[in-house]
A and B are shown apart, each in its own frame.
Chain A
Amino acid sequence: MDIMTLKQISPDQVIFWQWGPVYLNATIVFTWGVMVLMVLGSWLVTRRLSSGTEISRWQNLLEVIVSYMQQEIRQISQKEAGSHLYFVGTLFLFIFVSNLLTIFPGFVAPTASLSTTAGLAICVFVAVPVYGIVSRGVLGYLKQYIKPTVFMLPFNVMGELSRTLALAVRLFGNIMSGMKVAAILLALAPLFFPIVMHALGLLTGVIQAYIFAVLAMVYIASATRAQQERAEKEEKGNGKEKGEVS
């Protein structure tokens, strides 16, 4: 919180090191910090995994996180988590950890920069067709754009673009607003209120991490699931017809 002045709305504007056109801003530094922390932490924990009844507390923590994410994905997509877990879980953990680390003074969440959130949203934008094509084939995936009629094609494409923009701006706006409100209150009433707003900012950060992951999962599920529903419907329809015939 201290390294950004009130005038700066993005950690992109805080430059730590510059050499000609090459520079390191706070977003890059803290993104790599979070990445190193998470990779090192998971590596340290998973070095000594045990499958017995005695497990270390850190392994227990990671197992709780992973199984919780699997369970949530199963509830949303109505099938086994599978490869969705790697993508959605990574998004969730990155946003979650970088939002929670703001309790350390001097740390600015990389998600408070529009560049980071736009990058994450573009990852979702690319991942949705990839998962869709893998599960339904190119034609099957493209066909959903002309449903219910061909005239809906521009609206479907626009919806795809605008929801990517919404993902990016929502996360950025929430985290940035939490930071900004805390900074403004620090200038107005520095004794107690900034702590309350900071706690509220932590809550918002956790909820936003959850929501980003859930929305990514919902988008992926909607790209991969439609075919199953249609198959089930046809099956039901056939059953009804048969029932009527007999």
Chain B
Amino acid sequence: MDSVSLIGMASVITAGLTIGIGAIGPALGEGRAVAQGLASIAQQPDETNTITRTLFVGLAMIESTAIYAFVVSMIILFANPFWDHVISKAGG
């Protein structure tokens, strides 16, 4: 197998694995955070504003780990340095 198809195959598989595995943790975490936030709002409706704001900020922090995984998989798919290197070398 030549290096172009090898790198292409590795990139596609790794990109799928990256976002697939990387989404598990944040999904569990966000689900737990939202469940807890809703329970707190149900207990203390007066504090809805504070809870919602903190919840949103916290969700963004949790979500950012999923976003990192997504960015890495996008880089692997669309701006892969190894792929570009091999293609430029093959092109001349």
**Interface check A173, CB cutoff 8 A:** yes
B78 pairs with A173, CB closer than 8 A: no
List which A150-180 residues lie within 8 A (CB) of chain B: 166, 169-170, 172-174, 176-177, 180
Interface of B is mostly: helix
| Binary flags per residue of B32-54, CB closer than 8 Å to A gives 1, else 0 | 00000000000000000110010
Chain B residues with Cβ under 8 A from A214's Cβ? 53, 56-57
B70 pairs with A173, CB closer than 8 A: yes
B64 pairs with A207, CB closer than 8 A: no
List which A32-82 residues lie within 8 A (CB) of chain B: 72, 75
CB contact under 8 A between A7 and B71, given known A211-B57, A214-B57: no
Residue in B50, B53, B67, B75 whose beta carbon sits within 8 Å of that of A174 in the complex: B67
**Interface check A208, CB cutoff 8 A:** yes
Chain A residues with Cβ under 8 A from B56's Cβ? 207, 210-211, 214
A207 pairs with B60, CB closer than 8 A: yes
Residue in B53, B68, B78 whose beta carbon sits within 8 Å of that of A169 in the complex: B68
**Interface check A186, CB cutoff 8 A:** no
The A/B interface has a contact count, at CB < 8 Å, of 45
A169 pairs with B67, CB closer than 8 A: yes
Q: In whole angstroms, how far apart are the Cα atoms of A207 and B56 in the complex? A: 8
Chain A residues with Cβ under 8 A from B10's Cβ? none
| Binary flags per residue of A192-234, CB closer than 8 Å to B gives 1, else 0 | 0000000000000001101100110010000000000000000
In angstroms, how far is the closest chain B Cβ from the Cβ of A218?
Answer: 8
List which A1-51 residues lie within 8 A (CB) of chain B: 7-9
The count of residues in chain A whose C-beta lies closer than 8 Å to any C-beta of chain B is 21
Residue in A9, A208, A218 whose beta carbon sits within 8 Å of that of B74 in the complex: A9
Chain A residues with Cβ under 8 A from B71's Cβ? 169, 172-173, 176
Q: In whole angstroms, how far apart are the Cα atoms of A208 and B49 in the complex? A: 18
In angstroms, how far is the closest chain B Cβ from the Cβ of A212?
Answer: 9
**Interface check B79, CB cutoff 8 A:** yes
B60 pairs with A208, CB closer than 8 A: yes
A180 pairs with B74, CB closer than 8 A: yes
Residue in A7, A72, A170 whose beta carbon sits within 8 Å of that of B60 in the complex: A170
Chain B residues with Cβ under 8 A from A8's Cβ? 78
Q: Which residue of A lies closest to B50 (CB)?
A: A75
Chain A residues with Cβ under 8 A from B67's Cβ? 169-170, 173-174, 177
Chain B residues with Cβ under 8 A from A215's Cβ? 57, 60
Q: In whole angstroms, how far apart are the Cα atoms of A215 and B58 in the complex? A: 10
In angstroms, how far is the closest chain B Cβ from the Cβ of A171?
Answer: 9
10 A-B residue pairings within 8 Å (CB atoms): A8-B78, A9-B75, A9-B79, A169-B67, A173-B67, A176-B74, A208-B60, A211-B57, A215-B57, A218-B57
Apart from A169-B68, A215-B57: 6 A-B pairs, beta carbons within 8 A: A8-B78, A9-B74, A72-B53, A173-B67, A207-B56, A214-B53
